[in-house]
Structure 1
Amino acid sequence: MEPKKKKGDSKQESQVASSLKAYFIDGLKDIYYAENALVKTLPKMFDQATDQKLKTAIKDHLAQTKEQVVRLEKAFELMGLKAEAKQCHAIDGIIKEGAEIMEETAEGPVRDAGIIASAQKVEHYEIATYGTLAAFAKTLNERAVLDLLLKTLGEEKKSDMLLSYIADTNLNSQAVDGKLQSKDLNAV
């Protein structure tokens, strides 16, 4: 068993968040990285999509993501911090998986369905992250930051619902060997 590190050990403090506030700030850095990575990735998804509703949703979400980056910069500023990104391995993995899907599928409904699946994985990651950060902000009494995080959380939930709607209205049916399926199925 390794001996406990003493308070003041710089190695331990640099690797482990020593308080909820430090963990919260680390989470802000993580999602700041993720949002900036998405600003670079969404145009690639737009270029690969063929469904017009999907292309419009991606284009709109890109503009929204840019606003979310600015909102995060404001959150850092409100806390007296410089906006700083920390590599987010989760979003890197989701983006890599999405790129592979776009490379491995033929242009058309199947690729569009894959793009939606990848985009929803991103949305679910963001929803989980913003929900957690909002809870931390509330506990830490960071009310102004909480308001910013809740606004973004609401946007991410709406984006996820829109993607489900696009997939459920016809796109997934078109992806089934060109054979249209019944539209009477309710979304999960």
Structure 2
Amino acid sequence: MKIDSLERLLVHELKDLYSAENQILGALPKMAEAATHPELKAAFKEHLEETRGQVKRLEKAFEHTEFGPHGEHCPACAGLIQEGEEIIAEIEAGEVRDAALIAAAQRVEHYEMAGYGTAVAFARKVGNHEVADILTATLEEEGETDRKLTRLAEKVINFRALAAS
């Protein structure tokens, strides 16, 4: 698809987000398995369920365009996920790994928030308010996930990682 308009740029962003979310679906179970703190495991499992809903929302957003969701690969998300896999491979299970997993997960969340925020702005500008509303719901979820991870890191995990050092 040639990107020659804001509408096509919006579709490109949607396809990128769709690829990213599907990659995240594969990464979250590994992160949950690698986490040792029960609240962190639960947070990853909860976000896995949210991500499944986000994929469905993106599919619904595509119904308001002339395009389907497939055809893009998000290399940025692949790189972020690779970083998380390296954490799992290189850091021994425990509090320090849990702190690193939160950092890796938040990098992914911030990438997603940037993507969704941009796509919402594009959708509004081209007058596709249905897509904007669908994406805004996911943007809000991603922000809440980021805030939950921050609270868990600041109130529990980082203290335990420091004590374990």
| TM-score w.r.t. length of structure 1 | 0.85
Asked if structure 1 preserves the Cα contact closer than 8 Å seen for 2:113 and 2:139, the reply is yes
In the alignment, the residues of structure 1 paired with residue 133 and residue 160 of structure 2 have an alpha-carbon distance, to the nearest angstrom, of 40
How far residue 83 of structure 1 moved from its aligned partner, in angstroms, is 2.1
Q: Give the aligned CA root-mean-square deviation in angstroms.
A: 1.1
Divergent runs of 4+, >3 A: none
- Could you tell me how far 1:126 is from its partner in structure 2? 0.4
- Higher RCO (C-alpha under 8 Å, 6+ residues apart): 2
Cα distance in 2 for partners of 1:84, 1:62 equals: 21
CA distance in 1, matches of 2:59, 2:66: 11
Structure number with higher helix proportion: 2
Equivalence for 2:20:
34
Cα shift readout 1:127-158 (whole Å, capped 9, x = no counterpart): 00000000000001001111100000000000
1:163 aligns with 2:144: no
**Unmatched 5+ stretches in structure 1:** 1-13, 180-188
Q: Which residue of 2 aligns with 1:131?
A: 117
Partner of 2:44: 58
User: For the residues of structure 2 that align with 1:30 and 1:131, how far apart are their CA atoms?
Assistant: 13
1:77 touches 1:83 (CA, 8 Å); kept in 2?
Answer: no
Q: What is the number of equivalent residue pairs in this alignment?
A: 165
Once the two structures are TM-superposed, the CA of residue 177 in structure 1 deviates from its matched residue by: 4.6
Alignment CA distance shift 1:22-1:80 (3 Å): closer
Pick which of 154-163 and 85-94 moved more. 85-94
TM-score normalised to the size of structure 2?
Answer: 0.96
Amino acid corresponding to residue 33 of structure 1 in structure 2 = S
Q: Which moved more, 1:59-68 or 1:75-84?
A: 75-84
Give 1:116's match in structure 2, choosing from 94, 102, 107: 102
Partners of 2:44 and 2:132 lie apart in 1 by 26
Return the alpha-carbon distance in structure 1 between the equivalents of residues 110 and 31 of structure 2: 17
Q: Which protein has the larger Cα radius of gyration, Structure 1 or Structure 2? A: 1
Listed as ranges, the gaps of 5+ residues in structure 2 are none
Q: Percent identity?
A: 44
Distance, in Å, in 2 between the alignment partners of 1:141 and 1:130 is 16
2:154 equivalent to 1:178? no
In 1: Cα distance, 2:57 partner to 2:33 partner: 26
Alpha-carbon contact 1:35-1:69 (below 8 Å) kept? yes
Distance 2:73 2:156 in 1: 37
Structure 1 distance, partners of 2:152, 2:126, is: 38
